[in-house]
Structure 1
Amino acid sequence: MKKDQLLTRRRALLAGAAVLGAAGAAGTARLLTADEPAGSPVRNTAPVAGPPVRRALKPSAYRLRPLTGYGPPRSAPARTVVRHEPFLRISGRGRSMVLTFDDGPDPRYTPDILRTLREYDVRAMFFVCGEMAVDNKDLLSEMADDGHVVGNHTWTHPRLTELSRSGIRSEMERTSEVIEQAYGEPPQWFRAPYGVWNRAAFQLGADLGMEPLAWTVDSLDWTTPGTRTIVNRVEDGAAPGVVVLSHDAGGDRSQSVRALRDYLPALLDSGYHLTVPRRQFA
C-alpha cells in the first residue's frame, strides 16, 4: 500500500513539473514574439538575460515623406551608374528649384541658415567637408531631423585632378563615414570641390553609391560681393530645375546668411518650390 502511494505521489510530481515546463516555454515564446495581438490580457515583464534591447529611434517625419517623387523609394536596390558628367539640374513638375550649401558645417553660419530654412519649411542640400563635419556632428544630426540632404564634398576640399586615385578614395570614404555616423545614413550625392571632376571621381563616387551633382546658378557668394549682389544673382537665375550654389563655410559667410533671408521668401512668393532631389536608381 505504501509502495502504491509513493508511486502515485511520484506521478503527481512529474505531472506538475511537466505543467511548469510548458508554462515556462510559453512565457519564453511570448517574449520572443514581436507581433503580440493588441489587448492581450497578460504581458510577461520579466527581464531577459543579456544586454538591454535598444529602442529604435523614431525617424524624422520629413525623412519619411517623399519630397519630389523622383525615382523609386529609397529602399530600392541601389546600383549606382558611373557617370561621365555631373547632373546640373533636376527634373520634375512645376517650378522646382534646389538650394545647395557647400564647405560646412560651420557653427558660425550653418545654424542661421538652418533656422531660416526651418522658418519657411524648406529643405536644402548641404555638401559637407569631412574635416568640418567631424567636429560639428550635431549640425549634421539637425540637418537630418529637418529633412535636409547631406552630400559628400571630400575631407579637405582639394582639387581632385591633383590627387592619386587612392587619395581621392580616402577623401571620399572618410567623409562618407563621418556623414553616416552623424546623419544616420551614408551620403547619396557627391560634389567635387571647385567643380573639378575627373574619371576617377566619377568611378569612385559610384563605388560608394553616390551620384555626382554640380550646379546651374553660382551665387559667387564666396567672393563676398555684397548681400544685394548675391540676392540678385539667385533671383535672376531662378528657373524650373535650377540648382543654386552657395556656401555656409570656407570664409566669412555672413553675406550668404543675410542673402538667404531675402531671396528665400521672394522665391516662394514667386511660386517656386524649393526642394531636394530624389535618387534615380539603376
Structure 2
Amino acid sequence: MIRRIKLPGWIVIILLLAGIIFGINQVVAKVLAESPEPNEPNEKIVDSSVYPGLNIKTKTKETDLYTLSVSQPYTDNEQINKSINEWVDKQKKEFTSSIKESKNMLEENDFRAHLNIQAETEKIADKIYTLEFEAYQITGGANGMTKMKSFVIDLNQNKLLQLDDVFQLNEESIKNIQKLIMKELHSNQKISFYIFDDLAKEALKDPDKWKWSVGRDKVTFYFDEYEISAGAAGAIKAKIPMEKIKPYLNEKFAKKIDVKIPEKENSKEEEQHSEDKVKLDPDGKYVALTFDDGPHPDVTLRILETLKKHDAKATFFMLGSQVEYYPSLANKVEEAGHEIGNHTTNHQDLSILGLNKIKGEVQKSSRIIEKATGQKPTLLRPPYGAWNDSVKQVAKQMGVPMVMWSVDSLDWKSRNAAAVNEKVMSNVAPGSIVLLHDIHPSTADALPQLLTSLEKQGYQMVTVSQLLELWDGKGAGPFYGKIG
C-alpha cells in the first residue's frame, strides 16, 4: 500500500523537480553558448571574388574553453554548398564533442582547445576550381589532429566533379595510379621512413575512398594523420606531376585543363596611397578604430562609405585568406587612405604554433596583402590577441609591432548596433584602440552613430600608426592603448 503524501511532502518533491529542471536548462544553455554560431540571417553577399562564382566567408569564435576559426568557400549552387557544409559541420561536431569529453582537463590545465579549418583555392580552368581543406583541432595533450578534404568544382556545369569525371577508372588505370602514389610516398625522404605499406595499400584499395584534387600542374592525393603512417609524419600529401598522371585522366577533362587560359593582369593603378602623415597634438583627443577579419564584400564597403562621410581614418587588420579572394576590396581600403595591418593568413591561434608555422602565417598574409594593395603591412594583430615569446620573436624579426586593443566592442558577441555603441562609448578614453570587426552587418549599422557620438565628445579618428608615433611607441610591443 502506498502511503498518502501530505502537503509538506509535495512541496519538497516540487522543489526537487524544479531544481533538476533548472540544472538541465543551465547545461543546455552552456552547450548552446559554446556551440559554433549559425550563419547570420539575411546576410547580403556581393560576388566580388577573383574567383567568379566562388566566395569565401571566415567565421571566428572565442570562449573560455576554445577558439574557432573556419574559412568556408561557397557558391550560388545549394547542392555544391551542401556537400562542403556537411564536411565542415562534421569537423565542428567532432570538435565540440571532444570539448565536452575533455572539459575538466581543459579547465584544470587552463588550456583552450582550438579548431582551425582553412581552405586553399586553385583555379584550374574557366570556372573550374579545386578547394583544399585542412582541419586542425587540438583539445588537449601534446599534439592535435589534422584532417584533409578536397572538392573539385565545375561551375560551368554547377556540379562537384566525381572520380569518374576526372580519371579513367578501368582496372589498368587504377593500378597505375596506385603505383604512382606509392612511388611518390617512398620518394619523399621526409615521410618515407614513417609510411606503413600495408596501411597505404589498404587506403588505396578502393578508389571511391580516395581523397584527391587536381591542380594546373599536378594531382594530389591526401591521407589524414595516422591513416597510413606514424603520427610524426602528420597529414600527408602525395603530389603526382601532371605529365606522369595525364595518361590516366578522363579525356574530356584533360582537354579542359590543357586549354591555357591567360591570367588577367591586375589592372589596378600602381600609384601608392597611404594615410596622411599629420603631426598629432600631444594634448589632442584621438581614438584608433580597428576592424578585424575582413575584407568582406558587403560590410567593408559600407564601413568605408561611413568613414568617408565623417572624414575618419581607421586601421583594418586583414586576413590573407580574405584578401586573396577580395584583392580589389583591400585595394579600396588602401586607396581611401586607411591603414592595413596583418591579421595572419588563416586566423590561427599563434600561441600554440611552432616558430616556423608562426612565420608562415604572418609572412604569407603579408605577401598577399602587398600584392593586392602595393603596400606591405607594418602592424601585426595576432588572432584572439593570443601571443607568446615565439610570436614576439617573429614580430621583432619582421619589424612589425604587435597591436592589441584597450576597448573591446564585443560586436562579435552582441551582433547589435546599440549594444556596440554603448560598449565603446562607456569605455573609450583619449588614446584608446577600439576592437571592431568588418564582417558583421550590425557593426556597419553601428558605425554612423558611433562616429557621431565620438565627434560630439571631441574625438578625432586616426590610425594606429599615428597613435604609436604620438606615443613614440617602438619595438615589437604589444601595444594596447588607453583605457577609460
Which interval holds the TM-score relative to the shorter structure?
0.5 to 0.7
Distance 2:379 2:408 in 1: 18
Counterpart-to-counterpart distance in 2, 1:151 and 1:123: 13
CA distance in 2, matches of 1:170, 1:59: 26
Alignment of 1:1-282 (within 5 A): 57-60=270-273, 63=274, 65-69=276-280, 92-249=282-439, 253-276=440-463, 277-278=465-466, 280=473
Residue identity opposite 2:357 in structure 1: G
Q: CA offset at residue 140 of structure 1?
A: 1.4
The structure where strand makes up a greater share of residues is: 2
Distance 1:165 1:231, change over 3 A: same
Query: How many aligned positions are there?
Result: 201
User: Bigger relative contact order, structure 1 or 2, given CA contacts below 8 A and separation 6+?
Assistant: 1
Alpha-carbon deviation of 1:178? Answer: 0.9
Query: Structure 1 residue 68: deviation in Å?
Result: 4.2
The answer to whether the Cα contact below 8 Å between 1:215 and 1:242 also exists between their aligned partners in 2 is yes
What one-letter code is carried by the residue in structure 1 that aligns with 2:425? E
SS of the aligned residue for 1:258 comes to helix
Instruction: Classify 1:226/1:138 alpha carbon distance in 2 versus 1 (closer, same or farther; 3 Å).
Output: same
How far apart, in 2, do the equivalents of 1:173 and 1:141 lie?
19
**Deviation, structure 1 residue 57:** 4.7
- The one-character-per-residue Cα deviations of 1:63-113 (angstroms, maximum 9, x if unpaired) are 26313459xxxxxxxxxxxxxxxxxxxxx4310000000011111211101
The Cα of 1:59 is off from its aligned counterpart by 4.0
- Equivalent-residue separation in structure 2 for 1:64 and 1:151 (angstroms): 13
- In structure 2, distance between residues paired with 1:116 and 1:255: 13
In 2: Cα distance, 1:181 partner to 1:100 partner: 22
Q: 1:248 to 1:95 in 2, by over 3 A?
A: same
What SS does the corresponding residue of 2:426 show, helix, strand or coil? helix
Q: CA deviation at 1:243?
A: 0.4
Contact 2:275/2:338, CA 8 A, preserved across alignment:
no
For residues 420 and 337 of structure 2, the distance between their equivalents in structure 1, rounded to whole angstroms, comes to 25
Residue matched to 2:104: none
**Structure 1 gap segments, 5+ residues each:** 1-55, 71-91
Distance across 1 between alignment mates of 2:275 and 2:422: 34
Question: Could you tell me the TM-score, scaled by structure 1's length?
Answer: 0.67
Indicate the SS of the match to 1:234.
Answer: helix
Q: CA deviation at 1:58?
A: 4.3
Could you say what the CA RMSD is over the residues aligned between the two structures, in angstroms?
A: 1.8
- In the alignment, the residues of structure 1 paired with residue 270 and residue 299 of structure 2 have an alpha-carbon distance, to the nearest angstrom, of 28
Distance across 2 between alignment mates of 1:161 and 1:281: 22
Mark the structure with the bigger radius of gyration. Answer: 1
Q: How far does residue 273 in structure 1 lie from its aligned partner after superposition?
A: 0.7
Question: What's the CA shift for 1:177?
Answer: 0.3
Measure the CA separation in 2 of the matches of 1:98 and 1:64: 13
Deviation at 1:281?
5.7
One-letter amino acid of the structure 1 residue matched with residue 317 of structure 2: F
Which amino acid in 2 is paired with 1:65? D
- Consecutive unaligned residues of structure 2, counting only runs of 5 or more, are 1-268, 476-484
